[in-house]
Amino acid sequence: MRILIIDDEAAMHDSYARSFSAAPGARAGLEAMASELFGRDAAGLDAEAACARFELTHALQGLEGVAAVERALAAEAPFAVAFIDVRMPPGIDGKETARRIRALDPDINLVIVTGYSDHAPLDISRAAGPADKIFYIAKPFEVAEVVQTASALCHRWHADRELAAAREAMAAQVRLLEEQKLELAASESRAVHMANHDALTEAPNRLAFLRALQTSVRSGEMFATAMLDLDRFKLVNDSYGHLAGDELIRAVFARLHEAAPAQSLVARLGGDEFAVLFTATGEDDAAMTCERLVKACARTFTLFGNDVQGGASVGVVVVEPGAAGDPVDVMRRADLALNEAKRQGRGLVRVFTEAMDESIRLRRRIEDGLSHAITAGELKLHYQPIVARESLEITGFEALLRWQSPEYGTMSPALFIPIAEESNLIHDLGDWVLEAALETVKTWPGQYVSVNFSPRQFRRQNFVGQLVERVQRSGVAPNRVQIEITETAIFDDAERAADTLYRLRQMGFRIALDDFGTGYSSLTNIRKFALDCLKVDRSFIDGMGRERTSMAIVQSIVHLGRSLGLEVVAEGVETEAQVDTLRAAGCSHLQGYHLARPMPAEDALLLAERRFVRAPITEAPGTAA
């Protein structure tokens, strides 16, 4: 242990040397003194071993001592303690020496040794503090006093250095966590941007447009939605290549953005299809706006030295204030008007009328038939396995509803679920699905069943109580039931949704966020809600092989999920190449037609007992949703 002695009397240096080489008996009170000064931890210090390590450096003047401290610091061998005399003529006195040493080394312990009272201890503390690193010994001193003080202060100096190192390590960890937080936020921002913007034009994409349309539907104000297709776009691609086609898409978007009314939203939905959302005072006003959009496209575009005549057809629907409807239905009606414009010769604008919508009558017939189907036994659940990434072990099954209608044959859930959602049928339908799924999961050896709940079901009065009552009555453990909800279900009333999910998690249910990445996702939402897994929407899985943005979105979702300790399930896995890519990306679970198609309950039981998906299904993909 390195100790610095600063005193102008050679005899004093001899005294220090003899003190630190004194017999062990002179140091008998060391442990008691260390314990009293610095706590119980110091009591275990081996005085004999500590003293044997003392290395003394002597200085006869203050400036010589200051220089010794500088050299020790430069050599990375600092002193633990410095014993300083107060009077050292003709050089600087002990107070100034202590001040300069403290300025060089804030960690050193200073012991002022004097027989005089030239400076009050408070004055020295102010000059060379802090006070807890300055100590005083009166001359003449006792050997035991000097040795015990040096030993205890050396022990304390070591402890202070270890504490400082621990604090620095902790600070480094905090800095690392802050950096990771910033990286995670940047990754989230990139993922949200890519999920809501078209890569070719940087325009809002279909998802962003649907979100804005949802806001307009809820606003209770009149607005118009226009769907626009380019005329003869395929001819441009075939004649000049896809690069020319891409350039035309970018140029058309720029023209539409200029021609659209202020505060409107122009989005690219995909291919050569655009959508415009704008306010309108009526159908005539909306039609005039769309005529301007058609005119903006009806010009000559120069693409890589080739002149191409542009053109577009537009269908528009005007939504009256307070009119019931949903964004998908508004777009469907605008699309019907667009199809009418194309049928009548292109380059035209057509406003939607009810006569264009034969499907309205069909929807009413389906609603009536669905009401009968619940009691007539026409509904069935099929089950699609959810498998672990590496082993392909089946951890659960998603329950998928099927309707075999005597009038229409096999009905897609994508057709009848939205119709049920608009009426109270969704509650009867949901209750039937839950009861059937609970009966089936009881026969499996341990897998969970994942049941989809619509936004309207999720917002049902006493949803948690009714769900818990049905599960308890069935005798199924809550952790074998996974509740699948979409972002739409929780976005409308985030606070209520967060409370609902928290209560469900407290009771043991699993929670999955379905179609993740297609709606209102953000890291804030994910942290707010009690979730177990994210299900990556099949549109991103399907686009991985064709679009860099889809692969980037999948990787970002996996990164977010893993950072938050959530499972990440990839839906719609249709090829072996997708399996390999998703494994490499880090998805924890896979689900899709390539691994196993949805199957009746009896087949699901056989597969559940087998536990593993042994071979992929080779049939052509069907509707596996």
SS (H, E, C) 472-515: HHHCCCHHHEEEEEEHHHHHCCHHHHHHHHHHHHHCCCEEEEEE
Distance between CA atoms of 516 and 494, rounded to whole angstroms? 16
Residue 135 located in a structural domain:
yes
Structure tokens at 359: 């499907």
Q: What is the pLDDT of residue 20?
A: 87
114 part of a folded domain: yes
Distance (Å, rounded) from C-alpha 124 to C-alpha 211?
71
419 lies in some domain: no
pLDDT at residue 617, rounded to an integer? 44
Higher pLDDT, 28 or 117: 117
Q: What pLDDT, on a 0 to 100 scale, did the predictor assign at position 525? A: 62
Do 589 and 442 lie in a common domain?
A: yes
pLDDT at residue 399 above 90?
A: yes
47-54 long-range contacts, CB within 8 A, separation 24+: 47/147, 47/148, 47/151, 48/24, 50/1, 50/151, 50/154, 50/155, 51/20, 51/27, 51/147, 51/151, 53/1, 54/1, 54/3, 54/20, 54/150, 54/154
State the pLDDT at residue 42.
45
Q: Has residue 616 been placed in a domain?
A: no
Residue 49: the pLDDT is 42
Calculate mean pLDDT across residues 81-90: 90
Q: Is pLDDT at 615 greater than 70 in this prediction? A: no
User: Pairing state of beta strands 533-536 and 510-516?
Assistant: parallel
Give the confidence band of 618 by pLDDT, cuts at 50, 70, 90: very low
Coil, helix or strand at residue 325: coil
Q: Is the pLDDT of residue 548 over 50?
A: yes
Question: Which SS3 state, helix, strand or coil, does residue 195 take?
Answer: helix
Nearest in space to 496 (alpha carbons), one of 524, 532, 462, 454 = 462
Say how many domains are in the chain: 3
Q: Is the dihedral of CA 448, 449, 454, 457 positive or negative?
A: negative
Residue range 21-46, pLDDT digits in tens: 854 444 444 455 545 555 544 444 44
Does residue 455 sit in the same domain as residue 531?
Answer: yes
The answer to whether residue 69 sits within a structural domain is yes
Average pLDDT over residues 369-392: 92
Whole-angstrom distance, CA of residue 430 vs CA of residue 454: 8
Mean pLDDT value across residues 226-243: 90
pLDDT band at 468 (very low <50, low <70, confident <90, very high): very high
Q: How far apart are CA 548 and CA 555, in angstroms?
A: 11
Q: Do 133 and 80 sit in the same domain of this protein?
A: yes
Do 84 and 231 lie in one domain? The reply is no
Among 132, 165, 198, the domain-final residue is 165
158 with 222, same domain: the answer is: no
pLDDT digits (tens, 9 = 90+) for 202-214: 999 999 999 999 9
Distance CA 569, CA 572 (A): 10
Q: Choose among 303, 293, 177, 271: nearest CA to 225.
A: 293
Q: In what order do the strands lie in the sheet with 109-114?
A: 55-59, 2-6, 81-85, 109-114, 134-138
H-helix or E-strand spanning residue 576: helix 576-585
Q: Which residues contact 521 (CB under 8 A, 6 or more apart)?
A: 192, 195, 487, 513
Provide the CATH number for the domain around residue 59.
Answer: 3.40.50.2300
Tokens 């859930």 found at: 413
Residues 344, 393 share a domain: no
Q: Which two tokens stand for residue 569?
A: 């399930």
Last residue of a domain, one of 165, 183, 198: 165
Distances (CA, A) of 470 to 178, 478, 484: 45, 10, 17
Instruction: Mark which of 165, 198, 215 sits at the end of a domain.
Output: 165
From residue 249, give the alpha-carbon distance in Å to each of 246, 283, 297. 5, 28, 11
In a domain, 541, yes or no: yes
Question: Euclidean distance between the first and final Cα of the chain, in Å?
Answer: 74
CATH of the domain at 299: 3.30.70.270
CATH number, domain of 528, equals 3.20.20.450
**In this predicted model, what pLDDT tens digit does every residue of 275-306 receive, in sequence order?**
999 999 999 999 999 999 999 999 999 999 89
Query: Phi then psi for 410, rounded to 5 degrees?
Result: -70, 120
Residue 171: inside a domain: no
Are both 516 and 584 inside the same structural domain?
yes
Is 389 in the same domain as 352?
A: no
295 and 345 belong to one structural domain: yes
Q: Who contacts 240 (Cβ-Cβ below 8 Å, separation ≥6)? A: 303, 304, 306, 308
d(CA 413, CA 82): 84
Q: Are residues 348 and 395 in the same domain?
A: no
Helix axes 121-128, 94-104, angle to 10 degrees: 30
Residue 412 forms part of a structural domain = no
pLDDT for residue 83 = 95
Same domain? 353 vs 387: no
Residue 439 structural domain: 383-401+424-610
Residues 133 and 233 in one domain: no
